[in-house]
Amino acid sequence: MTIRPAQAGTGVVFRRVDLDGFEVEAVGRNVAKVSYATSLMKKGVLISTTEHLLSAMIGCGVDNAIVDLDNLELPILDGSAQPFVTMMLGVGLKRQRRKRCYLRILKTVEVREGDKYIAVHPHESYSVAYSINFPHPLIGESSFEVDLSDGEFVREIAPARTFGFFHEAEKLKDMGLIRGASTENAIVLSHDDVMNGPLRFEDEFVRHKVLDLIGDLALLGKRVIGRVVADRAGHYMHTALVSRILRDHSVWEEVTLDDKTRELEAVAT
């Protein structure tokens, strides 16, 4: 995988260099299938496991990039967004002349599935609150909230790794999933312990769910101004929220940074 600079207004575009440079834009209309990861597809060309890189781009403030891939899946690396963040910040970011365009939420949008839900509400900044509940002694009920306007992503979210349960591994591999999973790229849990500790955070599990959500909501194509609240949602519901938002133009508007700044100044006055 190679990340290349792109002109203002490009957004994030995945390019399959093994398929004559075929391009798949990282936007909601290209969401293909969602199970244990989020995949994109355009004209039969697949891009798999996009959420960690897209989350890192939102967290680092990267709006425009071309991502060259020589196969269908992004590298999992250590199972977090930290390696992507380190690489991008290490080479440096360039400020572009065009004003950043935000998607500001005007009305609450909600997706429910039984007692699970995800919603986005009008808010003055971009914040995410997530709750999970797993029947495991090291996870149980856990919640975490982060505001993405003050750099917390790099410190508090990017290092959080994906996780899985050892007793489910063979079944998932038989389904064609997690084929590259190992103790090097995921937290592996036995019935009552972490098999490859230590954890990076005591609540690393819910922090990784926040990481996934930020990456999935990047498929809106613009940064969000709103508060997202999720309870045991997962990739399917994340992308369902993206689709519902994009379908209803009455629940959002596009604003530039100057528009947003003027409004906040007026409120402060």
| All structural domains of the chain with their residue ranges | 2-268
pLDDT of residue 2: 98
Question: What's domain 2-268's superfamily in CATH?
Answer: lpxc deacetylase, domain 2 (3.30.1700.10)
Of 52, 208, 235, 238, the catalytic one is: 235
Mention every residue, 6+ apart, whose C-beta is less than 8 A from residue 177.
Answer: 35, 36
- Residue 174's pLDDT is 47
CA atoms within 13 A on the CB side of 265: 6
Residue 136 annotated in active site: no
Predicted structure pTM score: 0.91
Beta bridge partners of 163: 187
Q: Where are the alpha helices (DSSP H) in the chain?
A: 51-60, 82-91, 152, 169-174, 204-217, 235-247, 257-268
Report helix, strand or coil for 162. coil
**Number of residues that this document lists for the chain:** 269
Tell me the mean pLDDT per 10 residues along the chain, length 269. Answer: 96 98 98 87 96 97 97 94 97 94 97 97 97 91 93 95 71 48 81 90 97 98 97 96 98 82 39
Task: Tell me which residue of 75, 9, 160 sits closest to 67, measured CA to CA.
Answer: 75
Predicted confidence at residue 262, as pLDDT, reads 44
